[in-house]
Structure 1
Amino acid sequence: MMTQSMLRKIALASFIGMTAFGLAACEEEGPAEQAGENIDETMEEAGESMDDAVDQAGESVEEMGDSVEEAADEADSGY
């Protein structure tokens, strides 16, 4: 099963690929092409930021789970 992170990466890569292919067909770069490149860069940076945020959230949840497990072990050993 694919995770949301993987699906976002695939969608972002597809979008960038299609945009790059469309821009490669143009010989002269006008304002629309420059705007498209800026959008591509922004989308890529946003995707990277989202991936970082998801990774950090996952680490936080994992640490919280470890803390809960340790507390449960301590409570269990006290009886």
Structure 2
Amino acid sequence: MKTVRILPLFALTALALAACSPKAQNEVAEAANAVEADANATTAEAVSDTDAALGAAESRIDKAGDVLGNKADRVADKTGAALKDLGNEIQE
């Protein structure tokens, strides 16, 4: 987050030093490159963390779906058996 706040400051600094010596211009360019590299690394880490969190959530949702599916199957089996028993009693 700090990187995002610093980027406009570096852009302003780069504009202010544009008329300066080549050495100053090189230093500004190196600083801008360092900020860019830091921003890219931070973004990559955020993407990785988000992917990990979404993967964990997906796994939990899959497990919950499996549990619900198993319970629904058991209820269906019991309901089918109860209806069969009821049909047999009605026929008698």
Relative to the length of structure 1, the TM-score reads: 0.70
- State the 1:67 CA deviation: 0.8
Question: Among the aligned pairs, what percent are the same residue?
Answer: 14
Contact 2:7 2:35 in 1 (8 A): no
Contact 2:10 2:32 in 1 (8 A): yes
Give the structure 2 partner of residue 14 of structure 1: 8
Higher relative contact order (CA closer than 8 Å, sequence separation 6+) = 1
Of 41, 44, 51 in structure 2, the residue corresponding to residue 52 of structure 1 is: 44
Q: How many residues align?
A: 71
1:1-79 pair list within 5 angstroms: 8-9=3-4, 11-26=5-20, 28-30=21-23, 32-79=24-71
**Alpha-carbon distance in structure 2 between the residues aligned to 1:24 and 1:62:** 45
- State the 1:24 CA deviation: 0.8
Relative to the length of structure 2, the TM-score reads: 0.62
Q: CA 1:22 to 1:38, structure 2 compared with 1: closer, same or farther past 3 Å?
A: same
> What SS does the corresponding residue of 1:37 show, helix, strand or coil?
helix
Look up the equivalent residue of 2:11 and give its one-letter code. G
Structure 2: 5+ residue stretches without partners: 72-92
Structure 1: 5+ residue stretches without partners: none
Large movers: runs of 4+ above 2 Å: 32-37
Look up the equivalent residue of 2:18 and give its one-letter code. A
Q: Larger % of helix: which?
A: 2
